[in-house]
C-alpha cells in the first residue's frame, strides 16, 4: 500500500465518507447511545473491532465466497465476530455492557459494517480492507464522542459520566457550576437529532468552503502568473 492510498482511505473514513455525517448509516445506535462520551466511545470501539476483523476475514476469503450467497456468508462472519466482542465486554466491562444493552449484539445488522464489507472488503486486499474498517470505525468514534460530549454537557453540565465503569479510579468532570439546572432536551432523542443535524450542517459548510478554495486556487495562480509576466 502506498502513502497516497493510505491517505485516501483515512480521509474517506474520517471525513469524506464519514458513516455518521455523510452516509448517515447506523443512526439508531448513534442517537440512542450517545447520551455521554463514555457510552459512545465504547460502542464505537466495539464497532471498530468488528469492522477491522470482518473486513480482514472477508477480504481474505473473497475469492472463495460464491457471489450468489455472499450476503448470508458476510452476516455469518460478522455475527461470529460480534459474539466474541459481546462476550468480551460482558466478561471485562460488565456494568458498561449492561448499559449498552442490545446495541452491541445489534452490530451484526449495523448498516455501517455490512456496507463496508460489501463495498470495500469484498473487492480489495486484506490489508487495505482492514485499514478501511479501522478508519471507518474511527470516523464513527469521533462523531459519537463529540455528539455524546455535547449532549452530556448540555444535559447536566458534566463530561465523562460513567467513566468509573471503565476505569474505577476515575470520576466524571463537572464543567458547569453545580447550580446549572440542566437542559433535558440535550439528553433526549429529539436533542440528539438536532445536534446531529448541526454537525451535518457544519460538515457541509466545511466541504463547501474547501470546494470554494479549490475553485479559486487556479484563478489566483493564473492571476499571479499574469502579474509576474507583466
Q: What values do phi and psi take at 158, rounded to 5?
A: -125, 170
Give the distance from CA 80 to its chain's centroid: 21
- Give the pLDDT confidence score for residue 221 in this predicted structure: 61
pLDDT band at 229 (very low <50, low <70, confident <90, very high): low
Which residues touch 194 (CB under 8 Å, ≥6 apart)?
A: 185
Q: Which of 119, 142, 147 has its CA nearest to residue 132?
A: 119
Residue 30 pLDDT exceeds 90: no
Q: Is 65 helix (H, G, I), strand (E, B) or coil?
A: coil
> What are the phi and psi torsion angles at 173 (to 5°)?
-105, 125
Alpha carbon distance 36, 150 (integer Å): 8
Q: Is the full-model pTM beyond 0.85? A: yes
d(CA 44, CA 20): 12
What value does the mean pLDDT take over residues 100-120?
A: 89
Q: How far apart are CA 48 and CA 61, in angstroms?
A: 20
146-197 tens-digit pLDDT: 999 999 999 999 999 999 999 999 999 999 998 999 999 999 988 999 999 9
Chain centroid to CA 86: 18
Amino acid at each position: 500500500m502506498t502513502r497516497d492510498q493510505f491517505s485516501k482511505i483515512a480521509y474517506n473514513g474520517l471525513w469524506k465518507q464519514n458513516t455518521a455525517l455523510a452516509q448517515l448509516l447506523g443512526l439508531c445506535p448513534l442517537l440512542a447511545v450517545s447520551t455521554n462520551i463514555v457510552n459512545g466511545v465504547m460502542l464505537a470501539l466495539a464497532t471498530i473491532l468488528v469492522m477491522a476483523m470482518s473486513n480482514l476475514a472477508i477480504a481474505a476469503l473473497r475469492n472463495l465466497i460464491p457471489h450468489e450467497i455472499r450476503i448470508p456468508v458476510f452476516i455469518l462472519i460478522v455475527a461470529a465476530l460480534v459474539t466474541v466482542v459481546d462476550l468480551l465486554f460482558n466478561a471485562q466491562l460488565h456494568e458498561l455492557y449492561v448499559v449498552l444493552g442490545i446495541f452491541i449484539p445489534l452490530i451484526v445488522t449495523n448498516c455501517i459494517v455490512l456496507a463496508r464489507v460489501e463495498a470495500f472488503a469484498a473487492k480489495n486486499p486484506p490489508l487495505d480492507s482492514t485499514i478501511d474498517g479501522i478508519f471507518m470505525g474511527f470516523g464513527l468514534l469521533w462523531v459519537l464522542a463529540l455528539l455524546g460530549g455535547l449532549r452530556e454537557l448540555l444535559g447536566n453540565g458534566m463530561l465523562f459520566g460513567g467513566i468509573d465503569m471503565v476505569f474505577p479510579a476515575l470520576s466524571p468532570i463537572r464543567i458547569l457550576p453545580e447550580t446549572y439546572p440542566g437542559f433535558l432536551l440535550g439528553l433526549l432523542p429529539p436533542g440528539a437529532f438536532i445536534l446531529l443535524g448541526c454537525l451535518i450542517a457544519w460538515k457541509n459548510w466545511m466541504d463547501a468552503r474547501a470546494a470554494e478554495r479549490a475553485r479559486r486556487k487556479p484563478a489566483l495562480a493564473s492571476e499571479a502568473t499574469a502579474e509576474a509576466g507583466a
